[in-house]
Amino acid sequence: MNRKRIWAVAYKEWREILRDRLFFSMAFLLPVLMLMVLGWGISFDVENIPFAVLDQDKSRLSRDFLHRFIDSRYFSYRGDVQKAEQLDTLLAHSDIRFALIIPDKFQEKLLAGQSTAVQSIIDGVFPYRAQVAKGYVSAIINNFNAHLLADFIARTKGISREQALALVNPVHVQPRYLFNQALRSSWSMASGLMMLVLMIAPPMLTVLGVVREKENGSIYNIYASTISRGEFILGKLLPYFLISCINILILWCMVIVMFDAPFKGNPLFYFAVSVLYVICTTGIGLLISFLVNTQVAAVMLTMVITFIPAMLYSGLMMPLASLSDSAQLQAHAFPAMYYLRLTWGSFLKGLGWDALWGNVVALMLYAGLLWIIAYLNFHKRPRQ
């Protein structure tokens, strides 16, 4: 290894990046934009669900019941209709996502001490939102039921209304949201997105840099030169690696400043593991760029290999426990999951080396393995 040669390649690469102004600005802009767009864009808060009502009873009690929904911040009232078919049209057109049908004799039956049934129709296109909405509907109806039942018991058993209310609702759950007390989507998403962005951007830069030389033939200069394989790889990747390290810091600041996420862990530890992660993902890019010969193919392959697994099989969108077995296997064979644990551990949980060392070791192994494979796959005498 000759340091001077590494330096020469790195300097050449750096000049090349600088001269392609669009590419250079993109290298910094893309990660920032990705974080902003996805951080604000993917929200798991389910609120303001638009809904409409068909009230066939139009009584005091039915209006009372309806107001439980109208007053809730989870629902947003879009008016009432006269016929059930109108609800179908509204649902099909995505004007509303939830419809409520209150039958006639609603008040009459309830006051007579009989049960009655309402119909709630939920748009199930996005199952997560449908499930959460269903939970809200049940909660409102259960709460209304508790009051009805308490009134009834108070009347029939001759006890006070408060006592009766305690009787019908004896247990309740007090949830405590650890690590994210206010249950803010942006805290988890924004910090988690560091994992996603740093999974996509570094390999993308790398493949474009290396495959460009392959596609326009300038790599033959390297093949013909005295520079060794290792020197070329190190020198070539150094500028991209540095850009990604700067991006770590930029993204980190954005998560804290723009998304108000807390950082409870050790900054030095987190920076070190982030650099390790960037080494891993740059290695993925390196491996890809030795496998393909055209830039389009390289970019596509990078998207395939990085985006989907990091988005879906890392624990970012859904917990690992609810993945299928094959998907879990894929998650463990990929660095994203380990880095996501390190990220949430550092940002939200305030954990350090003691609790997270296993993930760091996994990343180290991954980085080592990737670079060795990439090194072995790069030949100065390509078979054509």
**Site for another protein, residues 287 to 346, rule: CB under 8 A:** 291-297, 299-301, 303-304, 308, 312-313, 315-319, 321-324, 326-327, 330, 341, 344
* Of the residues 153, 219, 222, 275, which one makes contact with another protein according to CB under 8 A: 153
Q: Taking each helix axis from N to C terminus, what angle separates 335-344 and 353-377, rounded to the nearest 10 degrees?
A: 150
Helix ranges (DSSP H) in 179-324: 185-215, 219-224, 229-257, 267-291, 295-302, 308-312
Q: Please report whether residue 353 would count as binding another protein according to CB under 8 A.
A: no
Burial of 255 (0-12, 13-18, 19+ CB in 10 A): buried
242 or 308: whose CB is closer to another protein? 308
> What's the min distance (Å) between Cβ of 250 and another protein?
16
Structure tokens at 178: 């650890």
> In the beta sheet, which residues pair with residue 75?
49
Q: Please report whether residue 217 would count as binding another protein according to CB under 8 A.
A: no
What track of x and - describes contact with another protein for positions 40 through 59 (by CB under 8 A)?
xxxxxxxxxxx---------
* Of the residues 7, 14, 146, 269, which one makes contact with another protein according to CB under 8 A: 146
Residues 113-142 that bind another protein (CB under 8 A): 113-132, 134-139, 141-142
231 or 298: whose CB is closer to another protein? 298
Please give the size of the binding site for another protein, defined by CB under 8 A.
134
Measured between alpha carbons, how far is 53 from 100 in angstroms, rounded to an integer? 5
Measured between alpha carbons, how far is 122 from 135 in angstroms, rounded to an integer? 11
Alpha-carbon distances, residue 35 vs 192, 246, 285 (angstroms): 10, 15, 20
4 or 93: whose CB is closer to another protein? 93
Measured between alpha carbons, how far is 34 from 196 in angstroms, rounded to an integer? 9
DSSP 8-state symbol, 49: E
> What's the min distance (Å) between Cβ of 370 and another protein?
20
Residues 228-287 that bind another protein (CB under 8 A): none
Measured between alpha carbons, how far is 208 from 226 in angstroms, rounded to an integer? 24
> What's the min distance (Å) between Cβ of 143 and another protein?
9
Measured between alpha carbons, how far is 334 from 15 in angstroms, rounded to an integer? 33
Q: Please report whether residue 160 would count as binding another protein according to CB under 8 A.
A: no
Q: Please report whether residue 166 would count as binding another protein according to CB under 8 A.
A: yes
Give the range of 204-212, 223-231, 233-241, 270-278 binding another protein by CB under 8 A. 204-212
Q: Please report whether residue 180 would count as binding another protein according to CB under 8 A.
A: yes
Q: Please report whether residue 65 would count as binding another protein according to CB under 8 A.
A: yes
